[in-house]
Amino acid sequence: MPCLPLLLPLLLLALSALALPSPPRPPLLKERVLPPRTWHPLSRAPPAHTLRLRLALAQPRMQDLHSQLLERSDPAHPHYGRWMSKAEVEALAAPAPESVDAVEEWLAAAGVDLRGAERSPAGDALTLTLPVALAEALLSTEYHLFAHRTTGEHIVRTTEYSLPRSVHAHIRSVQPTTLFSRPRALRSPLHALQPTAFHALDQAAGALSEASSCKSLVTPACLQSLYATAGYAASANATALGITGYLEQYANAEDLQEFYRGYAESAVGSSFQTVLINGGQNTQTASAAGTEANLDTQYAGALTYPVPNTFYSTGGSPPFTPDDAESSNTNEPYADWLAYVLALDELPAVVSTSYGDDEQTVPESYAQTVCDQFAQLGARGVSVIFASGDFGVGPSASECYSNDGANRAMFIPNFPASCPFVTTVGATTSSGPEVAAGFSGGGFSNYFPQPSYQASAVASFLSTLGSEYTGLYNASGRAYPDVSAQGENFLIYVGGYPGSVDGTSCSAPTFASIITLLNDALVRAGKPTLGFLNPFLYGAGLAGLTDITSGSNAGCGTKGFQAGEGWDPVTGLGTPVFTTLRALAGA
């Protein structure tokens, strides 16, 4: 038996080891990306540079919200059209209390003053204004200044970040970190109309009311004839339409009246309401008139008059102090707009957005978070409509590669067009018959699985496509566009002068206007608005769409997908026929 003097030091050593604190466990990697080829790092970000850091918290009941949304959007379901209240949606979108507690304890321990934090209505997002130095410490990362190889723009981003184990499972995403997207307006530059050609059009104003005139120049009257809304008298009180504006795009009131005087005489003197969000402006000088903003508001107003229209001008998130790193706020804008509208008690029944970016420049966690916010709008009865993009299946062949390190050739889907909880609109041209516009964005998401409402329609297309393009697209992904509308040669006024533009930016507000008129008819008949459209369009509403069977959407060095009978990733299910859709919707 060992003697006590020998055992005692060993016992004391063991006890002292037990008393020592355990070393801190290292944080867990949350997200890592490769910067897109179009961005290259310049230097470390200035430590004092201010970031608007948005933390999206885990939402354990989001699948319940998805289920509720699909039930209430399905004309065959007994809950169809019973849209949820703001409080009901927020209850399903809310994080678990333990998630809130864990995140707040972590932030407080790190010295973050939570009194200045902004909280979303459902409590699922926390926004903090922090210097880069503190953000780096929180996220165990390093921020760098990146420059865009083509435009020279600068942004402050990181390629990876980590979170403590105590909060890792409680947070969905943190941005701006790995988000390199640059949302762009989905339309061509303004093409000036020569005075002689424009005078000839004015002399033939009556002919512009015929559907066939869409072959040469699109006006509200030709769209009304083509899509069968001519003669429908809307109400000023039944429903409302929202138009989103980003990237310092300002809708000009004088241009609107000039456009109305020529092409929507009954609307002269009326206008849209402008709502400023997060530093958005309403600059009304002729030089500041935005082609995108004017296009959207002029056609939405002309096609839906006298339905109230709202233009949301979303800027950067204040407070923001320009410095040597960035000259403007580069937070992704959809989140700012969503934070604003989800807090509203009353929402427009339809919202049209003509902006998007390559899906792979948006981290998947962030895309999922934003898409779920669109689902929240849908559950409250809002039809969320997006343009499908203007690069067919992708841009030039040199850019059609994955950004995951594998560098594999692939088509490039667009986001938010690829979100399954929005209705995505492609482009057509000509008339009698309409054909696919060659730039019409379409394809398959690499992030979102194919929703049940479109499975049958997409399967029919894929069986026809066969093995063509195998490996270039995700056949099991959410497929888009859902529908289409005219997208070439739209006459607009910008800065006091007429011009024409092309793009799915033309198509989205056109289709949104048709849905707005359908909602007007439904509400006046004592029925709910259409809300999330896709289950209706792929089902009972299909007979109210004109199938587009010719044309393709070239891109990535290929001829792209081919339009054909049934759904296709060029023109979707087709273009709207208002009178038929109205009957099918029961109005």
DSSP strand pairing (490-494 vs 497-501): antiparallel
Cα distance between residue 388 and residue 533, in whole Å: 16
Cβ atoms < 10 Å from Cβ of 159:
18
The β-bridge partners of 425 are: 387, 483
**CA-based nearest residue to 259, from 246, 249, 269:** 269
CA–CA–CA angle 70, 73, 74 (5° rounding): 85
Cα distance between residue 576 and residue 428, in whole Å: 12
Q: Which amino acid is at 327?
A: S
Select which of 124, 296, 390, 482 is catalytic.
296
**CA distances, 354 to each of 43, 94, 297, 505, 573 (Å):** 34, 29, 12, 5, 19
Question: 548: annotated binding-site residue?
Answer: yes
**201 by DSSP, 3-state: which?**
helix
Tokens encoding 490: 């739209």
Secondary-structure percent of the chain, ordered helix, strand, coil, rounded to 5:
35, 20, 45
Which residues, 6 or more positions from 459, have their beta carbon under 8 angstroms from its beta carbon? none
Q: Does residue 271 contact residue 253 with C-beta atoms inside 8 Å?
A: yes
Question: 356: annotated binding-site residue?
Answer: no
Q: Based on the number of CB atoms within 10 Å of its own CB, is 575 exposed (0-12), middle (13-18) or buried (19 or more)?
A: buried
Q: Does residue 486 contact residue 223 with C-beta atoms inside 8 Å?
A: yes
Question: 547: annotated binding-site residue?
Answer: yes
Question: 64: annotated binding-site residue?
Answer: no
Q: Which amino acid is at 241?
A: L
Annotation says 296 is catalytic: yes
Select which of 74, 90, 124, 292 is catalytic.
292
Cα distance between residue 317 and residue 278, in whole Å: 5
DSSP strand pairing (355-358 vs 414-415): antiparallel
Select which of 188, 505, 507, 513 is catalytic.
505
**CA distances, 286 to each of 254, 256, 282, 494, 528 (Å):** 8, 12, 12, 8, 40
The annotated binding site is made up of 547-548, 566, 568
The annotation places the binding site for Ca(2+) at 547-548, 566, 568
Residues assigned a catalytic role: 292, 296, 505
